[in-house]
Amino acid sequence: MTEQRDRDRDRDRDRNPRRGGAPAPEAPAQEGPEYQDKIVHVARVAKVVKGGRRFSFSALVVVGDGKGMVGYALGKANEFADGIRKGNERARRDLVRVPLIDNRTIPHEVVGVFESTKVIMRPASAGTGVIAGGAVRAVMEMAGVHDVLTKVIGSRNPHNVVKATMEGLSQLRSAEEVAQKRGKSVEDLTH
């Protein structure tokens, strides 16, 4: 009986590193692009139940690599940190590629619309910087846009502003894309 118990204990120790066995092998590190995240808006939400109020958090997070990839998501959880983590994970799944000129500005003027929010984005000359407010600035910085002029018209709700900005960025086309679609060269389009 004691021999069986000793064998079971040894087997459990080998399987579970917390019981004094060998540490579990670490998963190999995945090589991929480095993403940064920015929290645009956090809301504490109260749900009224029989015993009182239940609080939870929702976090609007923008994620990007600073080289033309950007995404956003809303993470909801009972804990603040969990809400941000969830938003971060969801945003990484829905990334959009933004074409950039000289890795600093957008190729052409575009207007993004979502609900009652309209975001106008214009390319800017080198050294202008990101002329944008909170939510638009977060998206532009995460996308790697360094010079741009923007204006928000209508609702300034951060959720709508981020969605309108992303909708506008998804409309952007590089000169190469347009030339290929039309069956011409880039020089034909610029002259």
Q: Are 39 and 59 in contact (CB under 8 A)?
A: yes
Nearest one of 136, 166, 167 to 151, comparing CA atoms: 136
User: In sequence order, what are the residues at sequence separation of 6 or more whose Cβ sits closer than 8 angstroms to the Cβ of residue 180?
Assistant: none
State in Å, rounded, how far the first CA of the chain is from the last one.
Answer: 91
How far apart CA 112 and CA 122 sit, in angstroms, is 11
Question: Does 187 reside within a domain?
Answer: no
The domain spanning residue 153 has which CATH number? 3.30.230.10
Identify the sign of the CA torsion 12, 14, 20, 25: negative
Contact 107, 189 (CB under 8 A): no
The answer to the question of residue 105 being in a domain is: yes
On whether residue 13 sits in a domain, the answer given is no
- DSSP bridge partners of 37: 63
Domain that holds residue 51: 36-177
Per-residue pLDDT reduced to its tens digit, 110-157? 999 999 999 999 999 999 999 998 899 999 999 999 999 999 999 999
Query: Structurally, how many domains does the chain consist of?
Result: 1
User: Is residue 40's pLDDT more than 60?
Assistant: yes
Q: Is residue 31 part of a domain?
A: no
Which 3 state secondary structure label does DSSP give 2? helix
Pairing of strands 117-123, 148-154: antiparallel
Tell me whether residue 97 is in a domain: yes
Question: pTM value?
Answer: 0.79
Asked if residue 186 has pLDDT above 90, the reply is: no
In a domain, 110, yes or no: yes
Domain contains 135: yes
Please give the torsion angle defined by the CA atoms of residues 63, 97, 34 and 38, in that order, rounded to the nearest 10 degrees.
-20
Q: Is residue 4 part of a domain?
A: no
